[in-house]
Amino acid sequence: MNYRPAPSRYDKMTYRRCGKSGLKLPALSLGLWHNFGHVDVLENSRKLLQLAFDAGITHFDLANNYGPPPGSAEENFGKILREDFSGFRDQMVISTKAGYYMWEGPYGEWGSKKYLVSSLDQSLQRMGLDYVDIFYHHRPDPDTPLEETMAALDHIVRQGKALYVGISNYQADDAAKAISILRDLGTPCLIHQPKYSMFERWVEGGLLDVLGNEGVGCIPFSPLAQGMLTDKYLHGVPEDSRAAKSHGFLQKSAITEETLSKIKQLNELAAIRGQSLAQMALSWLLKDDRITSVLIGASKTTQLEDSLKCLDNLSFSNEELSKIEGILT
């Protein structure tokens, strides 16, 4: 049976202007970092994308190295795009990135023009696209001049291979320099994608101010702190969780007694608000008007449905914010 998007999908979602640009993004965007690779069940990936689009999520975020194996998330997304979303490309914002390791030799990672242009060509081929809406430099390169990396982004836009460009994982000072260089080149920086959650707040040390002052959007990733800001760890570390696996980004050592205590207190406050902990964590990010969208991930449709409910309660009282600060500090 052919997929037909829900006619009411745009009635359900809040859309926010990205900085000073003409582009609006949904308050929640779907990230394909996990659960869309060749190791995953394609039909599950398909159901997640369909549910997201039916809920008004129009922005789908990828990177060249997403999988595993690297590149496979783009391949699977491209396949589902052709089979299920034919005719809806212009209703979608599709982004990808380059910066991390992708292939052997000196041109397979970081921020040279050689790497960025080649990587995007490969990404477009994997997805079967002529262009992406947003192309990011995924991480700062300590050795390549920032001018070269930003000139590569400008070149890519002028080639017609991306409509907008952004940066990810840049600290405040480097972000300000990158934004300035791109402005002078005539290709404004649209958006910055930093790691930001209740448990990871470095962006508040200057980056958010830079983005707000410069009119650049912000789209946090890992808003649930790799699952710590959910009900998953309320009773310790489950054997099937990310923290229980020795590999991966979340280590078991991160789930300390102090962290568990904070999780439990936050969960109690969320319950009083009529939200799950995950919903409150997403709402807490979206309370700041400098945040354009929040990138969420999901392995099950039930997780995605739960996250979407955060949009029902985005306001916080001063008392609630004070309680959250008291728990987190």
Percent of the chain past pLDDT 90, that is, above it, reads 91
* Residue 245: pLDDT band with limits 50, 70, 90: low
Is 249 inside any structural domain? no
Domains identified in the chain, total number: 1
Residue 238 pLDDT > 90, yes or no? no
Give, in order, the Cα–Cα distances in Å from 238 to each of 155, 243, 245, 296: 47, 8, 10, 21
* Inter-helix orientation angle 277-286/301-308, to 10°: 50
**Cα atoms found within 13 Å of the Cα of residue 236, Cβ hemisphere only:** 3
Structural domain span for residue 215: 9-225+285-315
Q: Which pLDDT does position 251 carry in this prediction?
A: 60
Task: Kindly report, residue by residue over 15-37, the tens digit of the pLDDT.
Answer: 999 999 999 999 999 999 999 99
CB neighbour burial string for 270-290, b if at least 16 within 10 angstroms, e if fewer: beeeebbbbbbbbbbbbeeeb
**CATH code: domain of residue 126:** 3.20.20.100
Q: Which pLDDT does position 255 carry in this prediction?
A: 78
Is 275 inside any structural domain? no
Is 241 inside any structural domain? no
What is the spatial distance between Cα 111 and Cα 80, in angstroms, rounded to a whole number? 30
Is 264 inside any structural domain? no
Is 279 inside any structural domain? no
Q: Which pLDDT does position 233 carry in this prediction?
A: 85
Strands 217-218 and 189-193, how do they pair? parallel
Mean pLDDT value of segment 263-274: 97
Mean pLDDT value of segment 148-156: 98
Residue 64 pLDDT > 90, yes or no? yes
What is the spatial distance between Cα 254 and Cα 258, in angstroms, rounded to a whole number? 10
Is 143 inside any structural domain? yes
Name the residue among 35, 127, 124 with its Cα closest to residue 78. 127
Mean pLDDT value of segment 276-294: 98
This prediction has a pTM of 0.94
Residue 102 pLDDT > 80, yes or no? yes
